[in-house]
Amino acid sequence: MDKIYLNSMEFWGYHGLFPEENKLGQRFYVDLELELDLKPAAQTDDMNQSINYGEIYEVTKKVVEGEARKLVETVAEQLSKKLLEHFELLDACRVKVTKPDPPIPGHYKSVAIDIYRGRADD
């Protein structure tokens, strides 16, 4: 299957278990791996046979910067659902949401959730 990647998109969201996270917000990074047949677009040079990257970004932004969720898992799930609903040509997607500054003790670069969803998962 062919793939489109959008990497390291940065957003400001209010997701988390702690009240401070919901009030102050924090950075979130999103990586997308979108599966679809790109051969028709490549052969015809027709954007209607592919997915507009700018539209992908806007859908992602609305979810990540939208309604606050307690779990990053929920953010990833909601995003995968919106992408599959909005883009008919999309067969499946991998969504990785990274929280670089979670308020938990320890030394690490980030925490992340990575999910894979397809049309059969509806």
The predicted structure's pLDDT at residue 104: 85
Buried/exposed code over 34-54 (b: 16+ C-beta within 10 A; e: otherwise): bbbebeebeeeeeeebbbeee
Confidence of residue 76 (pLDDT cuts 50, 70, 90): very high
Q: What would the two tokens of residue 86 be?
A: 């909005």
The two counts, helices (H) then strands (E), for the chain are 4, 4
Average pLDDT of 42-55?
Answer: 97
Phi, psi angles (nearest 5°) of residue 25: 75, 175
pLDDT of 122 > 70? The answer is no
Would you place residue 108 in the very low, low, confident or very high pLDDT band (cuts 50, 70, 90)? confident
Are the C-beta atoms of residues 96 and 114 closer than 8 Å to each other?
Answer: yes
User: In the structure encoding, which two tokens stand for residue 105, read together?
Assistant: 């003790």
Q: CB within 8 A of 1, min separation 6: which ones?
A: 35, 36, 37, 91, 92
100 has pLDDT over 80:
yes
Q: For the domain with range 2-121, which CATH number is right: 1.25.40.10, 3.30.1130.10, 1.10.1040.10, 3.30.465.10?
A: 3.30.1130.10
User: Which residues carry out catalysis?
Assistant: 99
pLDDT at 117 over 70: yes
Q: 33 falls in which pLDDT band (50, 70, 90)?
A: very high
Provide the pLDDT for residue 102. Answer: 87
| pLDDT of 75 strictly over 80 | yes
Q: Above 90 in pLDDT, residue 29?
A: yes
